[in-house]
Amino acid sequence: MGKLARGVALIGAGMSKFGTFPDKTGRELFVEAYIDALNSVDKGIDNKDIEAMFLGNFSSDIFEGQGHNGPLMADWVGLTPKPVTRTEGACASSGVAIRAGILAIASGLHDVVCVSGMEKMTDLPTSRVTDALAAASDVSYEFPAGATFPGLYATIATAHMKKYGTTIKQLRMVGIKNHNNGKLNPKAQFPVTIKELMERRIAKLKEKGEPVPSWKDEMDFLEDPVSNPIVAWPLRLYDCSPITDGAAVLFLAAEEVAKKFTDTPIHIIGTGQGSAPFALHNRPDITSLISAREAAKMAYKMAGVDPKDIQVAEVHDCFTIAEIVATEDLGFFKPGEGGKAAEEGLTARDGEKPINTSGGLKSKGHPVGASGAAQAVEIWKQLRGEAGPRQVPGVELGLTHNVGGTGGTCAVHIYRR
């Protein structure tokens, strides 16, 4: 195992609005993201410049009844007959697509490629989506025992609480923080703070003439069993990322041609990917993901940077506990100290290690196959100083961390302005 034969940079990045779009197909969301990405390229880019495409998608086969959708999406933006490959790593499907795109360029075969992700999930009822997602666990053991992802991540949460004393308040703080960020992201599915959700609920109760509980802050609201019902204890509704439709598109180029497209490319200086046994019962420790630690180790080594150097990161907060584990696996905080860091505000936008400035999967939304590419869209904006009201000032080094399943797959990338 060696080094990339040549460097790779991000020269453009865009995404569709994330949300619930009953009137749009996956291919229409993809086109929306593609146009947004085209418009992000400073000096312009043309389809003739793009030599190949990689599409991350978890399971349009089940969600839309449409398989084989790499070339289908590509056709809708006029990229046929170029080579197009779908990659799948559950919710890390477009994280691994980024890596595939990097390898394609480093190989010398392609100078410019499109890397993308798409998922159209809301055509199915929620219970069927939960079952479809459960296909990313070990269906020979976990699913037949009744485990779907909320339950599996709840198991990780209770193990973390037992081993490290992580608290329910710390979990909730992750959600509050990510909604505070997502409020400032016009592409987010739920651009609303938890405080606003509480106020809306109070207004509604008053309107109906019903008694208003004496909540002194969001934390009380989040323990209210009607406002925030338990999904799988200790995870409640607002600990879980939503079901989302959306797409994201990136353009990657070899370093030597990147300047043709922009004077401000974002250099991808590290890529790492790891895997793990699926079933939680096969792991010696479920408070950490070995795939994430491996991916991070590879990416840091290639980039020649340490966790402390990272100034802004998008991590895979499919559930609030997942963000806490992620910030530990990435080495931002010691094992067991991720919850405390969230509680103390270290991961807030104005903290020492801003995490999920986009709103994360929690508030921005989680169209599973698109989430990894959408993380890179946020880092692109942050490192170029284009994140508007959620901009972290002066950041030059960013990271994305994209997990599939309960960590069967993890892809980590590091970016430098």
Whether 91 is catalytic is: yes
CA distance 187 to 208: 32
DSSP annotation of 107 = T
Geometric angle at alpha carbon 69, from 65 and 74, rounded to 5°: 145
Residue written as token pair 């004077």: 263
Residues in Cβ contact with 34 at an 8 Å cutoff, skipping those fewer than 6 apart: 14, 77, 114, 116, 247, 249
260 alpha carbon, distance to own chain's centre: 29
Of 62 and 192, CB closest to a copy of itself: 62
CA distance 319 to 316: 8
Q: What is the CA radius of gyration of the chain?
A: 20
Whether 366 is catalytic is: yes
Of 93 and 382, CB closest to a copy of itself: 93
Closest to 333 in 3D by CA, of 377, 376, 287, 372: 287
Tokens standing for residue 173: 């703080």
Tokens standing for residue 104: 């394609």
Of 31 and 84, CB closest to a copy of itself: 84
342-353: b or e for each residue (b if 16 or more CB lie within 10 Å)?
Answer: bbeebbbbeeeb
Of 81 and 393, CB closest to a copy of itself: 81
CA distance 161 to 172: 13
Q: How far is CA 234 from CA 90, 110, 126, 230, 324, in A?
A: 24, 47, 20, 7, 14
Of 52 and 312, CB closest to a copy of itself: 52
Q: Closest distance between a copy of itself and the C-beta of residue 351, in Å?
A: 30
Closest to 156 in 3D by CA, of 176, 135, 142: 142
Tell me the backbone φ, ψ of residue 114, rounded to 5 degrees: -100, 130
Of 72 and 374, CB closest to a copy of itself: 72
Q: Quick check: 246 and 18 in contact, CB under 8 A?
A: yes
User: Residue 410: beta bridge partners?
Assistant: 274, 403
- Helix axis angle for 371-383 and 93-106, nearest 10°, is 70
Active-site residue, from 316, 366, 401, 413: 366
Q: Closest distance between a copy of itself and the C-beta of residue 7, in Å?
A: 11
First-to-last C-alpha distance (Å) of the chain: 26
Q: Quick check: 10 and 380 in contact, CB under 8 A?
A: yes
Catalytic residue list: 91, 366
